[in-house]
Structure 1
Amino acid sequence: MSATRMLVLGVVFWAGKAHGYQIRAELQSWRADSWARIKPGSLYHALRKAVADELLVDTPEPGDGGPERTAYSITAAGRAELDRLVTAGLSVPGDPWMLNAAIAMLPTLSRADAVAHLSARIEALEVARSEMEGWRGGADPIKPEHVAEQAELWLAQLNADLVWSRGLVARLLDGAYSMSEHGEPPSIQV
Protein backbone atom coordinates (compact mmCIF):
# COMPACT_ATOMS: atom_id res chain seq x y z
CA MET A 1 0.00 0.00 0.00
CA SER A 2 2.84 2.42 0.69
CA ALA A 3 4.09 2.45 -2.92
CA THR A 4 0.53 3.03 -4.11
CA ARG A 5 0.03 5.75 -1.51
CA MET A 6 3.29 7.41 -2.55
CA LEU A 7 2.35 7.43 -6.23
CA VAL A 8 -1.19 8.69 -5.61
CA LEU A 9 0.05 11.53 -3.39
CA GLY A 10 2.78 12.38 -5.88
CA VAL A 11 0.49 12.57 -8.90
CA VAL A 12 -1.96 14.77 -6.97
CA PHE A 13 0.95 16.96 -5.81
CA TRP A 14 2.14 17.47 -9.38
CA ALA A 15 -1.32 17.98 -10.81
CA GLY A 16 -2.44 20.36 -8.06
CA LYS A 17 -5.91 18.82 -8.32
CA ALA A 18 -6.90 15.58 -9.98
CA HIS A 19 -9.79 13.19 -10.37
CA GLY A 20 -9.41 9.49 -9.65
CA TYR A 21 -9.62 8.66 -13.33
CA GLN A 22 -6.85 11.16 -14.14
CA ILE A 23 -4.59 9.63 -11.48
CA ARG A 24 -5.29 6.14 -12.79
CA ALA A 25 -4.68 7.16 -16.41
CA GLU A 26 -1.43 8.91 -15.49
CA LEU A 27 -0.08 5.91 -13.60
CA GLN A 28 -1.17 3.57 -16.38
CA SER A 29 0.75 5.71 -18.87
CA TRP A 30 3.82 5.19 -16.66
CA ARG A 31 3.09 1.41 -16.60
CA ALA A 32 3.12 1.56 -12.80
CA ASP A 33 1.02 -1.59 -12.67
CA SER A 34 4.11 -3.58 -13.69
CA TRP A 35 6.82 -1.93 -11.56
CA ALA A 36 4.82 -0.90 -8.49
CA ARG A 37 2.15 -3.64 -8.38
CA ILE A 38 -0.66 -1.11 -8.63
CA LYS A 39 -4.12 -2.31 -9.49
CA PRO A 40 -6.98 0.08 -10.38
CA GLY A 41 -8.98 -0.87 -7.27
CA SER A 42 -6.01 -0.17 -5.01
CA LEU A 43 -5.82 3.39 -6.35
CA TYR A 44 -9.36 4.17 -5.27
CA HIS A 45 -8.79 2.52 -1.90
CA ALA A 46 -5.60 4.62 -1.50
CA LEU A 47 -7.56 7.78 -2.37
CA ARG A 48 -10.28 7.03 0.21
CA LYS A 49 -7.69 6.16 2.86
CA ALA A 50 -5.67 9.32 2.12
CA VAL A 51 -8.81 11.43 2.53
CA ALA A 52 -9.65 9.64 5.81
CA ASP A 53 -6.06 10.24 7.00
CA GLU A 54 -6.36 13.94 5.98
CA LEU A 55 -3.56 13.64 3.44
CA LEU A 56 -5.88 14.60 0.59
CA VAL A 57 -8.99 16.76 0.43
CA ASP A 58 -11.84 15.58 -1.78
CA THR A 59 -14.09 18.14 -3.42
CA PRO A 60 -17.18 17.26 -5.48
CA GLU A 61 -17.32 18.95 -8.88
CA PRO A 62 -19.95 18.91 -11.59
CA GLY A 63 -19.22 16.37 -14.30
CA ASP A 64 -18.86 17.28 -17.96
CA GLY A 65 -22.45 16.48 -18.92
CA GLY A 66 -22.46 13.49 -16.57
CA PRO A 67 -22.47 12.70 -12.88
CA GLU A 68 -20.59 14.67 -10.27
CA ARG A 69 -16.86 13.87 -9.97
CA THR A 70 -14.52 14.07 -7.02
CA ALA A 71 -11.36 16.15 -7.31
CA TYR A 72 -8.47 15.55 -4.92
CA SER A 73 -5.85 18.01 -3.70
CA ILE A 74 -2.96 17.40 -1.33
CA THR A 75 -2.79 18.79 2.21
CA ALA A 76 0.31 19.87 4.13
CA ALA A 77 0.15 16.53 5.96
CA GLY A 78 -0.08 14.77 2.60
CA ARG A 79 2.98 16.61 1.36
CA ALA A 80 4.88 15.58 4.50
CA GLU A 81 3.75 11.95 4.04
CA LEU A 82 4.86 12.04 0.41
CA ASP A 83 8.30 13.24 1.49
CA ARG A 84 8.47 10.55 4.19
CA LEU A 85 7.57 7.78 1.74
CA VAL A 86 9.97 8.96 -0.98
CA THR A 87 12.74 9.33 1.61
CA ALA A 88 12.16 5.78 2.91
CA GLY A 89 11.97 4.37 -0.60
CA LEU A 90 15.28 5.94 -1.59
CA SER A 91 17.27 5.50 1.58
CA VAL A 92 16.25 2.05 2.86
CA PRO A 93 17.29 -0.90 0.66
CA GLY A 94 15.25 -4.07 0.50
CA ASP A 95 11.86 -3.13 -0.93
CA PRO A 96 12.02 -2.93 -4.73
CA TRP A 97 8.40 -1.73 -5.02
CA MET A 98 9.07 1.25 -2.74
CA LEU A 99 12.32 2.00 -4.58
CA ASN A 100 10.54 1.95 -7.94
CA ALA A 101 7.86 4.32 -6.66
CA ALA A 102 10.48 6.58 -5.04
CA ILE A 103 12.39 6.82 -8.33
CA ALA A 104 9.15 7.88 -10.04
CA MET A 105 8.63 10.49 -7.31
CA LEU A 106 12.28 11.59 -7.13
CA PRO A 107 11.55 15.13 -8.43
CA THR A 108 9.22 15.79 -5.47
CA LEU A 109 12.38 16.21 -3.37
CA SER A 110 14.95 18.95 -3.51
CA ARG A 111 18.21 18.00 -5.20
CA ALA A 112 20.08 18.19 -1.87
CA ASP A 113 17.53 15.96 -0.12
CA ALA A 114 17.58 13.40 -2.92
CA VAL A 115 21.39 13.24 -2.78
CA ALA A 116 21.34 12.92 1.02
CA HIS A 117 18.82 10.07 0.97
CA LEU A 118 20.63 8.25 -1.81
CA SER A 119 23.86 8.67 0.14
CA ALA A 120 22.17 7.00 3.13
CA ARG A 121 21.15 4.19 0.78
CA ILE A 122 24.75 3.80 -0.38
CA GLU A 123 25.97 3.56 3.22
CA ALA A 124 23.35 0.91 4.03
CA LEU A 125 24.24 -1.03 0.88
CA GLU A 126 27.94 -0.97 1.74
CA VAL A 127 27.18 -2.39 5.20
CA ALA A 128 24.96 -5.09 3.67
CA ARG A 129 27.64 -5.94 1.11
CA SER A 130 30.27 -6.29 3.82
CA GLU A 131 27.96 -8.56 5.82
CA MET A 132 27.18 -10.63 2.72
CA GLU A 133 30.86 -11.01 1.87
CA GLY A 134 31.47 -12.20 5.45
CA TRP A 135 28.58 -14.66 5.26
CA ARG A 136 29.72 -15.97 1.89
CA GLY A 137 33.38 -16.34 2.86
CA GLY A 138 32.92 -17.31 6.50
CA ALA A 139 34.89 -19.99 8.31
CA ASP A 140 31.98 -22.43 8.15
CA PRO A 141 31.14 -23.47 4.59
CA ILE A 142 27.55 -22.81 3.57
CA LYS A 143 25.58 -26.05 3.43
CA PRO A 144 24.33 -27.37 1.21
CA GLU A 145 27.00 -25.94 -1.04
CA HIS A 146 24.59 -24.89 -3.81
CA VAL A 147 22.95 -22.51 -1.31
CA ALA A 148 26.14 -20.45 -1.61
CA GLU A 149 24.76 -19.41 -5.00
CA GLN A 150 22.20 -17.32 -3.15
CA ALA A 151 25.02 -15.37 -1.54
CA GLU A 152 26.55 -14.84 -4.98
CA LEU A 153 23.22 -13.61 -6.35
CA TRP A 154 22.59 -11.28 -3.41
CA LEU A 155 26.13 -9.93 -3.59
CA ALA A 156 25.74 -9.24 -7.31
CA GLN A 157 22.43 -7.45 -6.64
CA LEU A 158 24.00 -5.35 -3.89
CA ASN A 159 26.89 -4.40 -6.19
CA ALA A 160 24.49 -3.47 -9.01
CA ASP A 161 22.41 -1.35 -6.60
CA LEU A 162 25.58 0.41 -5.41
CA VAL A 163 26.68 1.19 -8.98
CA TRP A 164 23.23 2.52 -9.87
CA SER A 165 22.88 4.57 -6.64
CA ARG A 166 26.30 6.18 -7.05
CA GLY A 167 25.51 6.93 -10.68
CA LEU A 168 22.22 8.60 -9.79
CA VAL A 169 23.95 10.74 -7.16
CA ALA A 170 26.51 11.82 -9.77
CA ARG A 171 23.76 12.62 -12.30
CA LEU A 172 21.84 14.66 -9.73
CA LEU A 173 24.98 16.58 -8.75
CA ASP A 174 25.51 17.30 -12.46
CA GLY A 175 22.02 18.87 -12.60
CA ALA A 176 19.92 16.02 -14.00
CA TYR A 177 16.14 16.32 -13.65
CA SER A 178 13.88 19.17 -12.61
CA MET A 179 13.58 18.98 -8.85
CA SER A 180 11.25 20.47 -6.22
CA GLU A 181 13.75 22.92 -4.80
CA HIS A 182 11.38 24.97 -2.65
CA GLY A 183 8.54 22.56 -1.87
CA GLU A 184 6.70 23.44 -5.05
CA PRO A 185 6.08 20.91 -7.81
CA PRO A 186 8.80 20.85 -10.46
CA SER A 187 7.80 21.53 -14.03
CA ILE A 188 6.49 18.04 -14.80
CA GLN A 189 3.34 17.57 -16.83
CA VAL A 190 0.81 15.05 -15.58
Structure 2
Amino acid sequence: MNPTRLFVLGALARHGAMYGHQIRRDARVDRAELWSEVRPGSLYGALHRMEAEGLIEPVRTEQDGQLPARTVYAITEEGRRELRTLRTEAFGEVGLRPDPVDLALAMSDELDEDTLRGFIEDRRRMLAAQAAQFDHLGERAWPDQTVADDLIVEHARLRIQAELAWHDLLLDQIEKLRTVSAHRHGGDTQPGRGRVVPEGGR
Protein backbone atom coordinates (compact mmCIF):
# COMPACT_ATOMS: atom_id res chain seq x y z
CA MET A 1 0.00 0.00 0.00
CA ASN A 2 1.41 3.37 -1.05
CA PRO A 3 0.57 5.97 1.64
CA THR A 4 1.50 8.97 -0.53
CA ARG A 5 -0.91 7.90 -3.25
CA LEU A 6 -3.63 7.30 -0.70
CA PHE A 7 -3.11 10.78 0.76
CA VAL A 8 -3.10 12.59 -2.60
CA LEU A 9 -6.08 10.74 -4.05
CA GLY A 10 -7.98 11.11 -0.78
CA ALA A 11 -7.29 14.85 -0.66
CA LEU A 12 -8.50 15.35 -4.24
CA ALA A 13 -11.60 13.24 -3.63
CA ARG A 14 -12.38 15.15 -0.43
CA HIS A 15 -11.62 18.73 -1.46
CA GLY A 16 -11.92 18.68 -5.25
CA ALA A 17 -9.37 19.96 -7.75
CA MET A 18 -6.16 21.29 -6.19
CA TYR A 19 -2.64 22.26 -7.23
CA GLY A 20 0.48 20.69 -5.78
CA HIS A 21 1.20 23.38 -3.21
CA GLN A 22 -2.31 23.09 -1.78
CA ILE A 23 -1.92 19.33 -1.34
CA ARG A 24 1.50 19.82 0.23
CA ARG A 25 0.09 22.47 2.57
CA ASP A 26 -2.69 20.10 3.61
CA ALA A 27 -0.09 17.46 4.45
CA ARG A 28 1.83 19.98 6.58
CA VAL A 29 -1.28 21.35 8.30
CA ASP A 30 -2.48 17.82 9.11
CA ARG A 31 1.06 16.93 10.35
CA ALA A 32 0.87 13.88 8.08
CA GLU A 33 4.58 13.11 8.56
CA LEU A 34 3.93 12.52 12.29
CA TRP A 35 1.23 9.89 11.94
CA SER A 36 1.90 8.38 8.50
CA GLU A 37 4.72 7.66 6.06
CA VAL A 38 3.64 10.58 3.87
CA ARG A 39 6.43 13.12 3.35
CA PRO A 40 5.26 16.51 2.01
CA GLY A 41 8.43 16.88 -0.05
CA SER A 42 7.62 13.71 -2.03
CA LEU A 43 4.19 14.86 -3.18
CA TYR A 44 5.26 16.70 -6.36
CA GLY A 45 6.97 13.64 -7.81
CA ALA A 46 3.95 11.53 -6.90
CA LEU A 47 1.65 13.93 -8.75
CA HIS A 48 3.63 13.53 -11.97
CA ARG A 49 3.67 9.74 -11.68
CA MET A 50 -0.07 9.54 -10.97
CA GLU A 51 -0.82 11.86 -13.90
CA ALA A 52 1.18 9.56 -16.19
CA GLU A 53 -0.84 6.60 -14.92
CA GLY A 54 -4.17 8.33 -15.47
CA LEU A 55 -5.10 8.48 -11.77
CA ILE A 56 -5.28 12.28 -11.82
CA GLU A 57 -5.58 14.79 -14.64
CA PRO A 58 -4.71 18.47 -15.12
CA VAL A 59 -7.86 20.57 -15.42
CA ARG A 60 -6.42 24.08 -15.71
CA THR A 61 -3.38 26.24 -15.10
CA GLU A 62 -3.39 29.20 -12.71
CA GLN A 63 -0.89 32.03 -12.39
CA ASP A 64 -0.80 34.71 -9.73
CA GLY A 65 1.19 37.77 -10.83
CA GLN A 66 4.85 36.96 -11.48
CA LEU A 67 4.68 33.62 -9.68
CA PRO A 68 5.23 30.44 -11.72
CA ALA A 69 2.15 28.89 -13.31
CA ARG A 70 0.51 26.16 -11.24
CA THR A 71 -1.23 23.08 -12.62
CA VAL A 72 -4.53 22.21 -10.94
CA TYR A 73 -5.25 18.47 -10.74
CA ALA A 74 -8.48 16.52 -10.33
CA ILE A 75 -8.98 12.84 -9.54
CA THR A 76 -10.13 10.64 -12.43
CA GLU A 77 -12.52 7.68 -12.31
CA GLU A 78 -9.48 5.41 -12.48
CA GLY A 79 -8.07 7.37 -9.56
CA ARG A 80 -11.24 6.80 -7.54
CA ARG A 81 -10.97 3.07 -8.15
CA GLU A 82 -7.33 3.21 -7.04
CA LEU A 83 -8.36 5.19 -3.96
CA ARG A 84 -10.88 2.52 -2.97
CA THR A 85 -8.26 -0.21 -3.48
CA LEU A 86 -5.58 1.62 -1.46
CA ARG A 87 -8.00 2.40 1.37
CA THR A 88 -9.11 -1.25 1.55
CA GLU A 89 -5.48 -2.39 1.61
CA ALA A 90 -4.66 0.11 4.37
CA PHE A 91 -7.55 -1.05 6.56
CA GLY A 92 -6.41 -4.63 6.02
CA GLU A 93 -2.82 -4.04 7.21
CA VAL A 94 -2.93 -4.90 10.90
CA GLY A 95 0.53 -6.30 11.57
CA LEU A 96 3.13 -4.20 13.36
CA ARG A 97 6.40 -3.95 11.46
CA PRO A 98 9.46 -5.42 13.20
CA ASP A 99 11.40 -2.76 15.09
CA PRO A 100 15.17 -2.78 14.38
CA VAL A 101 15.81 -2.15 18.09
CA ASP A 102 14.69 -5.72 18.85
CA LEU A 103 17.31 -7.18 16.52
CA ALA A 104 19.95 -4.83 17.91
CA LEU A 105 19.05 -5.91 21.45
CA ALA A 106 19.31 -9.59 20.52
CA MET A 107 22.80 -8.94 19.10
CA SER A 108 24.12 -6.83 21.98
CA ASP A 109 25.74 -9.50 24.14
CA GLU A 110 29.18 -7.87 24.01
CA LEU A 111 27.94 -4.40 25.04
CA ASP A 112 28.61 -3.39 28.61
CA GLU A 113 25.72 -2.21 30.75
CA ASP A 114 26.62 1.50 30.62
CA THR A 115 26.80 1.52 26.81
CA LEU A 116 23.53 -0.35 26.36
CA ARG A 117 21.80 1.86 28.92
CA GLY A 118 23.05 4.93 27.07
CA PHE A 119 21.56 3.71 23.78
CA ILE A 120 18.21 2.98 25.38
CA GLU A 121 18.09 6.25 27.30
CA ASP A 122 18.80 8.16 24.07
CA ARG A 123 15.95 6.33 22.34
CA ARG A 124 13.65 7.06 25.25
CA ARG A 125 14.44 10.78 25.11
CA MET A 126 13.56 10.86 21.40
CA LEU A 127 10.31 9.02 22.05
CA ALA A 128 9.46 11.38 24.92
CA ALA A 129 9.96 14.33 22.57
CA GLN A 130 7.57 12.74 20.07
CA ALA A 131 5.06 12.11 22.85
CA ALA A 132 5.23 15.80 23.78
CA GLN A 133 4.50 16.72 20.15
CA PHE A 134 1.34 14.64 20.15
CA ASP A 135 0.30 16.03 23.53
CA HIS A 136 0.53 19.51 22.00
CA LEU A 137 -1.45 18.37 18.97
CA GLY A 138 -4.17 17.13 21.29
CA GLU A 139 -4.31 20.53 22.96
CA ARG A 140 -4.36 22.64 19.77
CA ALA A 141 -6.84 22.07 16.98
CA TRP A 142 -5.84 22.86 13.40
CA PRO A 143 -8.20 24.25 10.73
CA ASP A 144 -11.04 21.88 9.77
CA GLN A 145 -9.94 19.31 12.36
CA THR A 146 -12.34 16.36 12.40
CA VAL A 147 -13.22 13.59 14.84
CA ALA A 148 -11.13 11.27 12.66
CA ASP A 149 -8.16 13.61 13.10
CA ASP A 150 -8.62 13.50 16.89
CA LEU A 151 -8.69 9.69 16.85
CA ILE A 152 -5.59 9.52 14.62
CA VAL A 153 -3.62 11.73 17.01
CA GLU A 154 -4.78 9.66 19.99
CA HIS A 155 -3.81 6.43 18.20
CA ALA A 156 -0.28 7.72 17.63
CA ARG A 157 -0.04 9.06 21.18
CA LEU A 158 -1.06 5.72 22.73
CA ARG A 159 1.42 3.81 20.55
CA ILE A 160 4.24 6.07 21.69
CA GLN A 161 3.17 5.65 25.32
CA ALA A 162 3.40 1.87 24.84
CA GLU A 163 6.92 2.30 23.44
CA LEU A 164 7.91 4.45 26.42
CA ALA A 165 6.59 1.80 28.81
CA TRP A 166 8.65 -0.90 27.06
CA HIS A 167 11.80 1.22 27.19
CA ASP A 168 11.24 1.79 30.90
CA LEU A 169 10.90 -1.99 31.38
CA LEU A 170 14.12 -2.56 29.45
CA LEU A 171 16.02 0.02 31.49
CA ASP A 172 14.74 -1.62 34.67
CA GLN A 173 16.00 -5.04 33.56
CA ILE A 174 19.30 -4.16 31.89
CA GLU A 175 21.34 -5.41 34.84
CA LYS A 176 19.51 -8.74 34.72
CA LEU A 177 19.98 -8.86 30.95
CA ARG A 178 23.73 -8.36 31.29
CA THR A 179 23.97 -10.99 34.02
CA VAL A 180 22.22 -13.57 31.86
CA SER A 181 24.49 -12.67 28.94
CA ALA A 182 27.60 -13.07 31.08
CA HIS A 183 26.43 -16.48 32.29
CA ARG A 184 25.71 -17.60 28.73
CA HIS A 185 29.26 -16.70 27.64
CA GLY A 186 30.91 -18.21 30.69
CA GLY A 187 32.06 -14.91 32.15
CA ASP A 188 31.33 -12.69 35.11
CA THR A 189 29.90 -9.23 35.28
CA GLN A 190 32.45 -6.75 36.53
CA PRO A 191 31.02 -4.99 39.62
CA GLY A 192 29.87 -1.46 38.99
CA ARG A 193 30.21 -1.60 35.21
CA GLY A 194 28.17 -4.55 34.01
CA ARG A 195 30.93 -5.46 31.52
CA VAL A 196 31.35 -9.13 30.63
CA VAL A 197 34.79 -10.37 31.71
CA PRO A 198 35.89 -13.74 30.27
CA GLU A 199 36.96 -16.42 32.71
CA GLY A 200 40.57 -15.96 33.63
CA GLY A 201 40.54 -12.36 32.42
CA ARG A 202 40.85 -9.17 34.45
Sort the TM-score into its range (normalised by shorter chain). 0.3 to 0.5
User: Highest CA radius of gyration, 1 or 2?
Assistant: 2
